[in-house]
Amino acid sequence: MNLGILISGRGSNMDAILAAIEEGRLDASVPIVVSNRAGVAGLDRARARGVPTLVLAHREHPSREAFDEALVEALRRHDVDTVALAGFDRLLSPVLLSAFPGRVVNIHPALLPSFPGLHAQQQALDYGVRITGATVHLVDERMDHGPILAQAAVPVLDDDTEDTLAERILAEEHRIYPLALALLAHDEVRIEGRRVRGGVPTA
Ligand code: GAR
């Protein structure tokens, strides 16, 4: 699997994926990491692991579609066959999704379909759920939406803040993102409507 990773910031999920590859837990290579924002920490982390990086600023493109065309061109240039979103903060258009059908993956810090969008951890606290978690899913045209590959549950504690809850969820994100990508790398999943046969429920 030739994985292109799209980031916008810290890049800790990207780093977890790269670590899993280095440690032989994920059979993939990452020919390119693309960020839509310059100067973010994730770019330094990718370089530190010897992975080529590219900044493609969405602001320099006249439309979402034009930006996605530039992304597709860059990813194809690096022989990418699977795209992992790792904190990437732009909604993708059909231009990118149709270029990699069924091969665009995202991670979200909640048990989807609950709490899509920004500040998922604070949304969970505000709602008062006792269990939240992390979800890895295939991407469709809606935000934080699409067939679910893997989920992990995280209890909400009485004294949790957005930061403490986010930290515990993040540890689970780092654990399940490489697991979910390994399913794709080994062609172990079948999509039937919304359901994924062969996904991983991780307690
Ligand atoms: C992660 O918590 C990821 O789940 C979240 O952004 C963070 C990125 O952190 N993504 C979303 O909320 C998607 N809607 P990272 O840059 O350290 O991987």
Q: How much is the pTM?
A: 0.96
Q: Which residue has the higher pLDDT, 203 or 20?
A: 20
Closest CA to 175 of 158, 151, 145, 146: 151
Statement: residue 126 has pLDDT above 90? yes
pLDDT band at 103; cut points 50, 70, 90: very high
The verdict on the CB of residue 10 being under 6 Å from ligand 1 is: yes
Statement: residue 49 has pLDDT above 90? yes
CATH code, domain carrying 54: 3.40.50.170
Note whether 14 and 82 are same-domain residues. yes
Catalytic hit among 61, 108, 119, 174: 108
Q: Which residue has the higher pLDDT, 121 or 202?
A: 121
Q: What does the mean pLDDT of the chain come to?
A: 96
Q: Which domain holds residue 189?
A: 106-203
Mean pLDDT across 174-189 = 94
Note whether 111 and 197 are same-domain residues. yes
Q: Rounded distance, CA 46 to CA 126, Å?
A: 34
Task: For residue 25, report the distance from its CA to the centre of ligand 1, in Å.
Answer: 21
Note whether 159 and 191 are same-domain residues. yes
Q: Rounded distance, CA 2 to CA 165, Å?
A: 33
Q: Give the pLDDT of residue 188.
A: 84
The best mutation among 5, 12, 44, 104 to test binding of ligand 1, ranked by most ligand atoms within 8 Å of the C-beta, falls on 12
pLDDT band at 9; cut points 50, 70, 90: very high
Note whether 146 and 174 are same-domain residues. yes
- Residues 141-152 have pLDDT tens digits of 899 999 999 999
The verdict on the CB of residue 120 being under 6 Å from ligand 1 is: yes
Statement: residue 201 has pLDDT above 70? no
61 flagged as catalytic: no
